[in-house]
Structure 1
Amino acid sequence: MEREKQKAAERRRRTLIVAASVVCVLGLAAVIGIVAANVGKDDGSDSSGPVVAPSGAQGKDALAIPVGKDGAKSTLTVWEDFRCPACKAFEDAYRSTIHELTDAGKLKVEYHLATIIDGGMGGTGSRNAANAAACAQDVGKFPEYHDVLFQNQPPERDDAFAENSKLVDLSTKVEGLNTPAFLTCVDKGTHNSWVVKSNEAFQKGGFSGTPTVLLNGKNIYQDRTMTPAKLKQMVEEADQG
């Protein structure tokens, strides 16, 4: 009986994740023409300044924020938008498993930040939140702040993250983050141009939407049978060689 309950819970979780993904992608379908029209145009971002990558950023053009040990045998590449409901659904379902695997040294995660909701619905919340997350990386608090942003995500059409005061207020939930260096970085939009470049890389990557989740290069988010337990099994099997 308990096993059946667990299976039912897993089915419900998968349904919720898939449904949220459909909402995120199809919700943008109505404005896809706007998104396409805005590619390469000024979306209100301050992209005129120098591209300043956050501390420790890796990969091509230093667009990936790494979490976990470099020596891990598995790498999870995650493209996310802090305003995207499907990204929140993914994080809510997989957060504890990903933390468990990174803490154990079995998984490295490379986070890439996108701003597709800004492009589709207008506003700057995706960009400003991404900049603040990059500022948190400079202070060594990216994973914690990343989680706080998704846990406190406003409704998709509410551009609350456009307000730096909101982002600063949420930083107080992370011990040691609300520092003068972080506040200055958020206020000046130090990494805004970097965020714009990251979003351009997302647009050129041919991805269908956020989140896009790749395990060792394979898109696992499109796998309707994927669960946190399955992800854990795949990573642990790779770790054992």
Structure 2
Amino acid sequence: MGKAARDLSARERIKSQREQERKQQQRRRLATVVTVVVVALAVIGGAFWYVQSGKSETLSGQLAPITLQSDGSRVMAKPGVEKPVLDIYEDFQCPACQSFEQTSSATVKNMAAAGQVKVVYHSVNIFTTEPTRGNTIRASAAARCVPDGKQWMAFHDRLFKEQPPETKSGFAIDDLVKWGKEAGVTDPGFESCVRSQKEAPAQAEYNKKLEDTGAFAKGTPTLRLNGKEIDNTISFSPSSLRNAILDAAK
């Protein structure tokens, strides 16, 4: 074989090797892309499952009757429904409580309206420094000024909607009076009760009593089903909360 022929054969081998390397690189790139897509789809699918599992309900209709108790708590239940009992300890200034209201409150209301649970709302005060301390006291004392159950719930929901940042003074007296009237509160003594903070001492006494019993020792919101504290992974998942309440009724 002459020199020219050997050179041609060498160039062909090099060309062939480069072509093989190019195809291998293409296959590796393709495999990488496929892997990334599969992982991305898994992540998206997992996120979709999470959103679906935590999807909030919508209110199905009228609320169950809501009655004021002598200690200031509120009971929401159809006549004759005594169990299971769901106690909700919440602070109007607490961001996590606001999140619970946005996520799971419709489930609680729907189940009470269906006669599946007796719900007891406890307004508490967990903040000890300003401005949050003043905010929570003004809001909870104002809520105690609403005797009608349906109006109280409308005011309750409005307070969470208007919750101020933890770094700013909020729940001003004028706003509380305004929001109450917009929520349909018609009691003639409501405005004077709010402006004088007449119910603040009773609220402080009630809050201390609950603190002393450890009712909400881990913070708010605290949910207790038949006296047993519910984990937040259940409280903030409407479907899980519904199932837990149904199980407690068995």
Fold in common (TM above 0.5): yes
The DSSP-based 3-state class of the residue aligned with 2:144 is helix
1:203 paired to 2:203 = no
Give 2:195's aligned amino acid: D
1:65 paired residue among 65, 69, 74 = 74
- The alpha-carbon deviation at position 10 of structure 1 amounts to 4.7
- The alpha-carbon deviation at position 223 of structure 1 amounts to 4.3
Q: Quick check: 2:54–2:236 contact (8 Å CA) kept in 1?
A: no
The DSSP-based 3-state class of the residue aligned with 2:183 is coil
The DSSP-based 3-state class of the residue aligned with 2:179 is helix
- Name the CA distance, whole Å, in 1 between partners of 2:243 and 2:222: 20
Equivalent residue, structure 2, for 1:56 = 68
- Name the CA distance, whole Å, in 2 between partners of 1:7 and 1:94: 17
Q: Quick check: 2:54–2:237 contact (8 Å CA) kept in 1?
A: no
Equivalent residue, structure 1, for 2:188 = 180
When normalised by structure 2's length, the TM-score is 0.67
The DSSP-based 3-state class of the residue aligned with 2:158 is helix
The DSSP-based 3-state class of the residue aligned with 1:77 is strand
The DSSP-based 3-state class of the residue aligned with 2:69 is coil
Gaps of 5+ in 1: 15-54
- Name the CA distance, whole Å, in 2 between partners of 1:204 and 1:183: 32
- The alpha-carbon deviation at position 165 of structure 1 amounts to 0.4
- Name the CA distance, whole Å, in 2 between partners of 1:211 and 1:157: 20
Superposition map of 1:46-195 within 5 A: 56-58=68-70, 62-69=71-78, 71-117=81-127, 119-122=128-131, 123-136=133-146, 138-140=147-149, 141-161=151-171, 163-175=172-184, 177-195=185-203
The DSSP-based 3-state class of the residue aligned with 2:243 is helix
Q: 1:158 to 1:13 in 2, by over 3 A?
A: farther
- The alpha-carbon deviation at position 172 of structure 1 amounts to 3.0
- Name the CA distance, whole Å, in 2 between partners of 1:105 and 1:13: 22
- Name the CA distance, whole Å, in 1 between partners of 2:141 and 2:195: 10
Q: Quick check: 2:53–2:239 contact (8 Å CA) kept in 1?
A: no
When normalised by structure 1's length, the TM-score is 0.70
Q: Quick check: 1:82–1:130 contact (8 Å CA) kept in 2?
A: yes
- Name the CA distance, whole Å, in 2 between partners of 1:225 and 1:139: 27
When Rg is computed on C-alpha atoms for both structures, the one with the higher figure is 2
Equivalent residue, structure 2, for 1:23 = none
Among all aligned residue pairs of Structure 1 and Structure 2, give the percentage whose two residues are the same amino acid: 28
- The alpha-carbon deviation at position 224 of structure 1 amounts to 5.9
| Ranges of 4+ aligned residues in structure 1 off by more than 6 Å | 11-14
Q: Quick check: 2:87–2:119 contact (8 Å CA) kept in 1?
A: yes
Residue-by-residue CA offset, 1:208-238 (whole Å, 9 max, x unaligned) = 1111111111111344686111111232344
The DSSP-based 3-state class of the residue aligned with 2:219 is coil
Q: 1:202 to 1:192 in 2, by over 3 A?
A: same
- Name the CA distance, whole Å, in 2 between partners of 1:4 and 1:109: 33
Q: Quick check: 1:79–1:213 contact (8 Å CA) kept in 2?
A: yes
Gaps of 5+ in 2: 1-40, 57-66
